[in-house]
Amino acid sequence: MQFWVIQTLNSLALGGLLFLLSAGFSLIFGLMRIANLTHGAFFMLGTYIGVSALRVFPNLWLAALAGAVVVGLFGALLERFVLRSLGGNALGQVLLTLGVAFIISDLCLIVWGGDPIPVQTPDYLRKPMLIAGLPFPTYRLVVVVIALVTALLLWLLMERTRLGAMIRAGVDDMQMARAVGIPVSKLFTIVFCLGAALAGAGGVIGGPILSAYPGLDADMLPLALIVVILGGVGSLVGALVGSFIVGFVYTFGTALLPDLAYVILFLPMIFVIAFKPTGLFGKVSA
Q: Which residues bind other proteins (CB under 8 A)?
A: 162, 165-166, 168-169, 171-173, 175-185, 283
Nearest-approach distance from CB 164 to other proteins, in angstroms: 9
The residues that bridge with 135 in the sheet, in sequence order, are 130
Pairing of strands 129-131, 134-136: antiparallel
- CA distance to 17, 43, 119, 258, 270, per residue, from 213 (Å): 16, 11, 11, 21, 30
Q: Where are the alpha helices (DSSP H) in 211-284?
A: 216-231, 236-256, 261-275
- Of the candidates 101, 99, 83, the one whose C-alpha atom is nearest the C-alpha of residue 32 is 83
Nearest-approach distance from CB 181 to other proteins, in angstroms: 3
Q: Which of residues 156 and 263 has its CB atom nearest to other proteins in the complex?
A: 156
Q: Which of residues 182 and 228 has its CB atom nearest to other proteins in the complex?
A: 182
Q: Which of residues 39 and 168 has its CB atom nearest to other proteins in the complex?
A: 168
Q: Which of residues 1 and 179 has its CB atom nearest to other proteins in the complex?
A: 179
Nearest-approach distance from CB 213 to other proteins, in angstroms: 40
Nearest-approach distance from CB 170 to other proteins, in angstroms: 9
**Cβ atoms within 10 A of the Cβ of 175, count?**
8
Nearest-approach distance from CB 165 to other proteins, in angstroms: 4
- CA distance to 86, 91, 117, 119, 209, per residue, from 105 (Å): 22, 21, 15, 19, 20
Contact predicate 24/196, CB 8 Å: yes
Q: Which of residues 120 and 185 has its CB atom nearest to other proteins in the complex?
A: 185
Nearest-approach distance from CB 39 to other proteins, in angstroms: 24
Q: Which of residues 16 and 238 has its CB atom nearest to other proteins in the complex?
A: 238
Task: Tell me which DSSP letter residue 131 carries.
Answer: E
